[in-house]
Structures are given as structure tokens and as C-alpha cells.
Structure 1
Amino acid sequence: MIVADDLRYFLEVARTRRLLTAGRRLGVNHTTVGRRIAALERSIGNRLFDRAPAGWVLTDAGHRLLVHAEAIESTLLAAMESTASGGGRLSGTVRVATPDGFGTFVLAPNLAELCATHPDLDIQIVTATRNDVLSTREFDLAVTLEPPAQRSVECAELADYELGLYATCEYLATHPRIARATDLQEHRLIGYIDSLLDIAALRILDDIVPGHRAQIQTNNVTGQWTAAAAGSGVAVLPLYIGDPDPRLVRVLPDEVTVARKYWLIVPRDLRRLARVRAVIAMMRTIATTQPGLTVPS
């Protein structure tokens, strides 16, 4: 017979792939985690994990159990939420994984109304430019630039947005004229660190100026915006970041416009939680009201 509490240990190992990490999150020693996993495997009569260089990887039996374990977790969370919350006030934490630009310039500035309505609700924003944030399942909602491969999540279009080239007037006045995209080869470009970037949708400079390396590289768009606004060079920024900044001017607006899309991701086992639904509704509202974002028709 399966001991329900063992499923907590199973879920943490499945999501983190490390006994040590799972133990820290559960507040126990990693040997305790290993012992509980071994007990669960004995009760089921199947091996649930294989040891691999990437960590503890689910077997076929482990994948089958994961579906049921997440459903049980979701039911328990919903039960706790319905009994602990009263009068429409939500509590608990919703962690949102998001690209830096969306999290910093779109989501964070629009939290006031939600927080005022639900003062007991905590919102955590985790920004990243790598896809591995989704593989660890350490989020309740996610905004991504590409639809994920995971089958355990629901994925829907959130908003379209555009990017363009930006620099300061001072920079443009003291450097060679930019009349076409090929002229950018004579300029200091600001972009992402290639070795820390695994999202193809962010490799924008490769399309605009093939083969030209960015001389100033950061792992987030906030750093690129700061560098461009300081007059350090030319950066590709979302229009919702570049246009409102009076220090920046658009470069080659008629020639260089890049279209991208944000996707809204929610784990299926969390979709029923009221606090998650509240944040989804807020993000849908933001998508319709935020300058620089358009809702797909």
C-alpha cells in the first residue's frame, strides 16, 4: 500500500532531480528522502527513478505515478485553500517564472490592485532567460517565449509584442551614421551572453546583424536597457521598454522590427487553485491594457 506522505518526497525528487535539493525543500536530511523513495518503490514493486549524470530521472513507472501524485497534491492544496480562505480573500504564495523584461517592466508594476484585493496573497517573480526553470517545475505560473515541451502543463497565447533597436541621441551623434542594418557592424552592440542563453527567440541580434558579436553582454534585458540608456551602444529592446524612456530613440524603425509572443503556462494540477486563477485573470487583464502588448485575435 502506498503511504500518501511518501508522495511528497517522490514529487520533490521528480521536480529537483536531486536528493539534497529535495531534502532542503522538505526540511529533512537527504538520507531520509532516499529512504522514503526506497519505501515507495518497494510498496509499488517498481523502480521509480534511474540514476543519471543529470540526476534522478523518472522511469516509465515514475512518469505514470507522477500524474496521480500531482493530482493528489492538487486536491489537497485545493482543500486547504477552500477551508483556510474566507470571504473571498486568498492566501498563500503564487510563484511566477517569467522572462526578465516581462517580469520587471510589465508584471511587477501591475501588482498593486491584486495585492490590495488579496493582502494575504504573496507573489514571487522569478526571472530567467533559460528553459531549465520550467523543467524543474519550481513555479505555479510561467510566462515563456516558446511553447514548452512538457505534457503536464497547459499552454495558451498571452500576448504579442515587438522589439526594436535603441540608443541615446548622444551615442548616435558621436558614432557613424546608421542608415541600414549592415551599418550596425561599425557599432557597439549590447546583447545577451551566448553561453547563458538557450532560448532561440532571444537570439535577435543574430538575425539583424549575422556574425557580429555584441561587445556588451548581460544575461537579462534590464542590464541591456541600462547600458543603452547610459549611451554605451545599441540594444534590441521591447517597445514597451524603449519607447517610454526619454533617454532613448528608436534606430531604423522602418527597417528593423522584430515580433515575438508571450505564452502563459500553468501546471495542470494547479489550474484549479483559486489563487492561481486570480493571478491568471490579472495577467490576462494586463495583456489587454499594457502599452506595447497586443492580445492575439
Structure 2
Amino acid sequence: MFTADNMRYLLELSRTGRLADAAKRLGVDHTTVSRKITRLEKDTGTRLFDRGVSGWQLTEAGRRLVPHAEAVETAVLAALDETSSRGGLTGTVRIITPDGFGSFVLVPGLAAVRSEHPDLFTELVTSTTHDLLTGRDFDIAVTLERPSPRSVVVRKLAEYDLRLYASRHYLSEHDPITALEDLRHHTLIWYVDAFLDVEPLRILDALIPDFQAQIQTNNIAGHYQAVKHGVGIAPLPSYIGALDEDLVPILTDDFIAHRTYWLVVPRELTRLARVKAITEALYSIVDDNPELRGATG
């Protein structure tokens, strides 16, 4: 029998591409997922997935079913949200975000959210990788790369500037820097080359061709701490560097990179009250930061 419940299995497997991952998200074992998909294929009379070494991929028939599965999910989530939010917002909102924005902008701004919605929980996962949205295990995402809007709603959240910063102590102890070429004689700090797959952050090659950062770490907190303690020079978002009196922007006429943060919400979650509340809070946090330019700024 064709059931709405089996559509959940189609949706999760389409998002993860693997039985084990879909099973984990659904709270069942992988054989249950396989059985539900087989049942759905029998009910529809067509193959919905191609099974391969790279995972389970939707067929054309499967892709046509996805919007209907999402509509079912949206209706169920909206009903649950309506029931649970009568006495104030409850539940959990998971946000994934680049580490800089998450650690230096979002976390300090959560006090207002806690005050307004004391029964609402926030999970924050920070990462700066190209596959940040893989698996769709999020309610809201902030990304540096604009994703395809096929199954998500994408809006501009903010613009910011990357500038080169050094500590006052470092500048007092090292040769002066008057041109980009002078950086070859200084210590540069940036992401680990092997892990840097986010195109908007691949800037050092353009800055100084054929030059590699001598200090590499996979998170921006490490960049900031290294610069602050006089280890070297790093490109930092101005929302970090400009707010620290110990840091000085250098080569301001030669280097500035404008970057954009995108707000991403799965289409089926856009109507949820708790997701709307956190989305509004994100825009308020951006508006309150002097080094971020809001979507209309």
C-alpha cells in the first residue's frame, strides 16, 4: 500500500545517498530503509533509485516524487510546530556555518535569542568546507558559496571584507611592509592547503603567486590567535581584525577581498516558527555588527 510514511524513506535516502546514513537519521536499521524503498517501488511500479558503488541515486521517476515527499514532510512539520509553539517556541534549531561567522559573530549574538526564546535550543556546527551542506542535516546554514536553489531557499545574509592584519608587536620587530612582494619575507598564516576547497577563500595564490603560507591551520580562530600573538600575518575578516586594538590592517591600498555570506534553509522548513525566529535573529545580529553589511546594506 502506498503510504506517506514510505515517502519519508525516499526523502532521506535521496538526501544522504546511503542506506546507513538514511537509517541513522530515521532511527531505524538499514534493512528497514531498503525494505521501505522496495515497497514504494512496487507501489509505484517503477524503479526510484539506481544502486551503485557511489551510493543510491534518484532515477527520473524518483526525482519527480521528491517534491511530493517534501510537501508531506512540510505539512507534518508545520502541524507539529503549530502544536508545540502555542506556549512559546520550543525544540531545536541546528545551524551550520563557517567557523569565523559562527564563532565571532553568531555565538556572541545568541544572548538575545536566549532571552526571547528560553525554551528554544540552538545547535551550532562550524566548518569551512565545500561540502558543508552535504546530507542536509541542518535547519539553517550560512555559506560562503551560493548553493543551487533546487531544494533550498537561498537569501543573501551579509557582505564582509577580508584584509591583511598583523599585530603591533610583530610590525615593530620585523621589516616594514610597503608592497605585496614584501610579504615573501614574512610569515603568512592561512588554511591548510589540502583541506581548502572553498573557492571564495582561495586567495593566497592571487595575492602572492607561487607562495605558500608557512603556518597553516584549518580554522580561523587559529589564524586570529597566531596573528594576535605575533606569529605572522593573515587575511582576517574585518569583523575580527578591526575590533581588536592590538591588530593593524596592512597594505590597505593593495589588498581587500569582498565576500558574501548566504543564508540557506531547506524549502520544507521555511514555514516553521522556530526557523523563522532564528532567521530573523541572524539578520538582527548582522545589522548590529559594524563590520558586516546587511542584505540591503
Q: Shared topology, TM-score over 0.5? A: yes
Report if aligned partners of 1:41, 1:48 keep a CA contact under 8 Å in 2.
yes
> Who is 1:176 aligned against?
175
Quick one: which amino acid aligns to residue 64 of structure 1?
Answer: R
Structure 1 residue 49 corresponds to structure 2 residue 35: no
Report if aligned partners of 1:144, 1:263 keep a CA contact under 8 Å in 2.
yes
Distance in 2 (alpha carbons) for counterparts of 1:51 and 1:41: 13
> Who is 1:27 aligned against?
27
Aligned identity (percent) is: 51
Q: Is the partner of 1:136 in helix, strand or coil?
A: coil
Q: TM-score, normalised by structure 2?
A: 0.95
> Who is 1:80 aligned against?
80
Structure 1 residue 135 corresponds to structure 2 residue 134: yes
Q: How many residues align?
A: 296
> Who is 1:109 aligned against?
108
Structure 1 residue 230 corresponds to structure 2 residue 211: no
Quick one: which amino acid aligns to residue 227 of structure 2?
Answer: A
Distance in 1 (alpha carbons) for counterparts of 2:108 and 2:270: 24
Stretch moving more, 49-58 or 266-275: 49-58
Distance in 2 (alpha carbons) for counterparts of 1:164 and 1:140: 31
Report if aligned partners of 1:74, 1:269 keep a CA contact under 8 Å in 2.
yes
Distance in 2 (alpha carbons) for counterparts of 1:106 and 1:53: 41
Q: What 5-or-longer segments of structure 2 have no aligned partner?
A: none
Deviations 1:86-132 (A, max 9, x none): 24x11111111111111111111111111121112111111121232
Q: TM-score, normalised by structure 1?
A: 0.95
Q: Is the partner of 1:123 in helix, strand or coil?
A: strand
Distance in 1 (alpha carbons) for counterparts of 2:44 and 2:169: 68
Report if aligned partners of 2:190, 2:234 keep a CA contact under 8 Å in 1.
yes
> Who is 1:279 aligned against?
278
Distance in 2 (alpha carbons) for counterparts of 1:215 and 1:2: 59
Distance in 2 (alpha carbons) for counterparts of 1:16 and 1:213: 36
Structure 1 residue 16 corresponds to structure 2 residue 29: no
Q: Counterparts of 1:1-297 in structure 2 under 5 Å? A: 1-87=1-87, 89-295=88-294, 296-297=296-297
Quick one: which amino acid aligns to residue 86 of structure 1?
Answer: R
Q: Is the partner of 1:86 in helix, strand or coil?
A: coil
Distance in 1 (alpha carbons) for counterparts of 2:233 and 2:72: 51
Quick one: which amino acid aligns to residue 183 of structure 2?
Answer: L
**1:150 to partner: Cα distance:** 4.0
RMSD over aligned CA atoms reads 1.5
Report if aligned partners of 2:104, 2:240 keep a CA contact under 8 Å in 1.
yes
Q: Is the partner of 1:97 in helix, strand or coil?
A: strand
Q: Is the partner of 1:156 in helix, strand or coil?
A: strand
Distance in 1 (alpha carbons) for counterparts of 2:191 and 2:48: 38
Q: Is the partner of 2:244 in helix, strand or coil?
A: coil
Q: Is the partner of 1:21 in helix, strand or coil?
A: helix
Q: What 5-or-longer segments of structure 1 have no aligned partner?
A: none
Quick one: which amino acid aligns to residue 219 of structure 2?
Answer: N
Quick one: which amino acid aligns to residue 213 of structure 1?
Answer: Q
